[in-house]
Structure 1
Amino acid sequence: MGWIYVVVAGFLEVAFTTAMKESAGLTRLWPSILFFITASLSFWFLTRAAITLPISTAYTVWVGIGSVGATLVGILFYGEPAGLARMFFIGLLIASIIGLKLVSE
């Protein structure tokens, strides 16, 4: 169950970083509310994951999913560059997350 929790937490991290950007420094009401809700839920799911997963694994996977997701959101919706080197290192992050799952309980 810990892995499900950490994946949900990671996707919520993508949601809260996107809402944070859309909130324009917490000056826009609805994106700011969405930020606080998704950030709170993300941390809640991360704490649940850390009950059964080692904190080092849970945190690393949470950050990895958030990093990959935020990068993809930036590329797809905000016109950020998607160069070959950048995509290579995103691929390494994904491979690392999968590797942690394979070597964990």
Structure 2
Amino acid sequence: MTINWLMLIVGGFFETLFAISLGKAQQSVGKAQAFWLAVFLLCVSLSMFLLYKSMGGAKPIPVGTAYAVWGAIGATGTVIAGILLFDEPATFWRMFFLASLIASVIGLQWVSSQG
């Protein structure tokens, strides 16, 4: 795994964190809401920066692959966080399609590393 892939994965985790912080901000008021919005701004900035950095350097990740993987990491993490933190349903079909998304991301990473 190259440093670019590592940056992309960490960026995807920050995407999950910025989505979680928006959910927490929706549930908060006053200073707590301001805190969660500040967390959102920090996480979205770090997430976008790491996405940007992963597409450059000695072994750049193609933009289409990078964006799809970054978005899938964020979406997967957000669905799991929604289930654990926001009492969202964990139905069979949600888990089936989440597993399909994860399999697709692994496939994208694999075919991108072949060339």
**Normalization by structure 1: what TM-score?**
0.94
Task: Pick the structure with greater CA Rg.
Answer: 2
Determine if the alignment matches structure 1 residue 75 to structure 2 residue 83. Answer: yes
* Aligned counterpart, 1:93: 101
Q: Contact 1:20–1:26 (CA<8 Å) still a contact in 2?
A: no
Query: Structure 2 length as normaliser, TM-score?
Result: 0.87
Q: Which residue of 2 aligns with 1:46?
A: 51
Kindly report the root-mean-square deviation, in angstroms, between the aligned alpha carbons of the 2 structures. Answer: 1.4
Structure-2 residue corresponding to 1:14: 16
Q: Deviations over 1:22-62 (max 9, x none)?
A: 11299611111100000000000000011110000000001
% same residue? 37
Paired residues in the alignment total 105
Instruction: Report the counterpart of residue 3 of structure 1 in structure 2.
Output: 5
Deviates more, 1:30-39 or 1:19-28: 19-28
Residue number among 17, 27, 42 corresponding to 1:37 in the alignment: 42
